Structure 1
Amino acid sequence: MSQRKRTEPWIKKWLLRGIFSILGGWGAGIVLFSFLPVPFSAVMAERQLGAWLRGDFGYVAHSDWMAMDDIAPWMPLAVIAAEDQKFPSHWGFDVQAILSVLDRDGGRIRGASTLSQQTAKNMFLWDGRSWLRKGLEAGLTVGIETVWTKRRILTVYLNVAEFGEGVFGVEEASRRYFHKSASRLTPSEAALLAAVLPNPIRFRANAPSAYVRQRQQWILRQMRQLGGTDFLRQHNLL
């Protein structure tokens, strides 16, 4: 028997073990983080490792966990208004938005991600765009939508979302940019934080461009049109 034939079963065996270990880890994470605070996310780990590999040992990917009851209601309302207004009613995917993006961009992978999809990606996957990552993201989104409540998805999202370089989670962002706890955020401040979410490295809450200011005002209008915090109460998100 050739060396190649002897090693192929061993490689397949360990490859399958690796795949099942990853899947098992994701499954355990979905169950555990349905009630436990999240200490860090995959994107946080990716950013931290990237900084160390660049020799930037001063970079710290930091987040302070906050329960939904300790976050000003304007913040969850702002991210829903900005990112996913169908969040309370969909099952993880905005099919209409996905079809619209694919039709407009010729099948390229961009945009149309719901808060559930963004949470799945931030928690368990790497940054970037590829069909592989989007496929894994879809499976993980189904998992968290099945196990977690909408309120839990929103809570985790607000605690792991990136708001700037090394700034993860709404509590860290609020203290860094407004020098106060997320429990005291105003509607305008919440809208400003939500305005930088599409690209928190390019867009800065502490030095907002004219575009970010325009987006902030649009988000404030959307928050009012949704019905303010009554929208959150109506859908059991507070």
Structure 2
Amino acid sequence: MNKMKILKGIWKWGKRLFLVLFVGQLIYIVLLKWVNPPITFTQIGSIVNGRGFHQQNRSAADISANARLAVIASEDQLFPDHNGFDWKSIQKAMEYNQKKPGRLRGASTISQQTAKNVFLWQGRSWLRKGLETYFTFMIEKIWGKKRILEVYLNVAETGNGIFGIEQASQSYFNKPAKDLTQYEAAAIAAVLPNPVKLNVKPMSPYVSSRARKIGQQMNFLKPDRDIQNLIR
């Protein structure tokens, strides 16, 4: 009898804790529609690992259209059109990873990367992936594309211990992000796949080549009406 009471008590408190956590995270998501995240797990990890943490948040109005276009061209060219998930790319990545399990390929959209960077830790567990799916869905519904892109440009790691487009622009080119040229924005976007190992300065031949290709894609995407609605 006592054991049943204990189990019922645990169940009761568990439901209350779940409700508190659920309501709390929902309030946090809504709040971040207007307020920048104070710090993320990735940034905390950078501090713990000795890489440091340098960041300057900026509003979309203070970020060059070139920077917004560069990350779309580099990371997620279908960003204006999908609902947070690029299912074709996910399917291709799954097929590739099954054939070559030692060389994992990702297919994360800007929305997924933002959800992961803001709310979660780095890793590949099913739990983290499930939570990433949930938070991606929520920010697509609550924030909208322009806010997702703005937050991504503020929280993405753009160098070793460097976070956000403003800090990257100041560190690499000694200018604010609103003044970035097309090539400078493309160079920063070129290191996003692995910002700890890839560098804008000194720039490796690989990063230089990738920046040029991103610039070509920017020229291709720029006339698109949906892209223009996001970057202007």
TM-score (norm 2): 0.89
Following the alignment from structure 2 to structure 1, what is the Cα–Cα distance between the partners of residues 197 and 20? 36
Aligned-residue offset at 1:149: 1.7
For residues 72-100 of structure 1, give each alpha carbon's deviation from its aligned partner in whole angstroms, at most 9, with x where no partner exists.
11001000000000000100000000011
Give yes or no for the alignment of 1:112 onto 2:107. Answer: yes
Structure 2 residue corresponding to 1:203, chosen from 198, 204, 213: 198
Residues 40 and 63, structure 1, Cα contact 8 Å, conserved in 2 = no
Structure 2: state its 5+ residue gaps.
Answer: none
Give yes or no for the alignment of 1:165 onto 2:154. Answer: no
Identify if the C-alpha distance between structure 1 residues 104 and 173 changes in structure 2 by more than 3 Å, giving closer, same or farther.
same
Structure 1 residue corresponding to 2:91, chosen from 87, 90, 99: 99
Following the alignment from structure 2 to structure 1, what is the Cα–Cα distance between the partners of residues 202 and 20? 43
For residue 40 of structure 2, what is the aligned residue in structure 1?
A: 41
Residues 44 and 61, structure 1, Cα contact 8 Å, conserved in 2 = yes
Following the alignment from structure 2 to structure 1, what is the Cα–Cα distance between the partners of residues 142 and 127? 23
Following the alignment from structure 2 to structure 1, what is the Cα–Cα distance between the partners of residues 160 and 174? 17
Task: For 1:227, give the aligned amino acid.
Answer: K
Give yes or no for the alignment of 1:86 onto 2:46. Answer: no
| 1:74 match: secondary structure | helix
Aligned-residue offset at 1:63: 1.7
Following the alignment from structure 1 to structure 2, what is the Cα–Cα distance between the partners of residues 119 and 88? 15
Aligned-residue offset at 1:237: 3.7
Structure 1: state its 5+ residue gaps.
Answer: none
For residue 30 of structure 1, what is the aligned residue in structure 2?
A: 29
Give yes or no for the alignment of 1:219 onto 2:218. Answer: no
Q: What is the aligned residue count?
A: 229
| 2:197 match: secondary structure | coil
Moved over 6 A (4+): none
Greater alpha carbon shift after TM alignment, 34-43 vs 136-145: 34-43
For residues 36-82 of structure 1, give each alpha carbon's deviation from its aligned partner in whole angstroms, at most 9, with x where no partner exists.
2333223223333x23xxxx4xx542321111111111001000000
Residues 86 and 94, structure 1, Cα contact 8 Å, conserved in 2 = yes
Following the alignment from structure 2 to structure 1, what is the Cα–Cα distance between the partners of residues 55 and 18? 29
Residues 80 and 226, structure 2, Cα contact 8 Å, conserved in 1 = no
For residue 146 of structure 2, what is the aligned residue in structure 1?
A: 151
Residues 77 and 228, structure 1, Cα contact 8 Å, conserved in 2 = no
Task: For 1:23, give the aligned amino acid.
Answer: F
Aligned-residue offset at 1:7: 5.1
Structure 1 residue corresponding to 2:57, chosen from 49, 57, 65: 65
Q: CA RMSD in A?
A: 2.3
For residues 23-43 of structure 1, give each alpha carbon's deviation from its aligned partner in whole angstroms, at most 9, with x where no partner exists.
333211210111123332232
Residues 117 and 141, structure 1, Cα contact 8 Å, conserved in 2 = yes
Aligned-residue offset at 1:18: 4.2
Percent of aligned pairs with the same residue?
43
Following the alignment from structure 2 to structure 1, what is the Cα–Cα distance between the partners of residues 196 and 110? 19
Following the alignment from structure 2 to structure 1, what is the Cα–Cα distance between the partners of residues 216 and 121? 33
Residues 160 and 197, structure 2, Cα contact 8 Å, conserved in 1 = no
Identify if the C-alpha distance between structure 1 residues 72 and 102 changes in structure 2 by more than 3 Å, giving closer, same or farther.
same
Greater alpha carbon shift after TM alignment, 99-108 vs 62-71: 99-108
Correspondence list, 1:105-144, <5 A: 105-106=97-98, 110-144=105-139
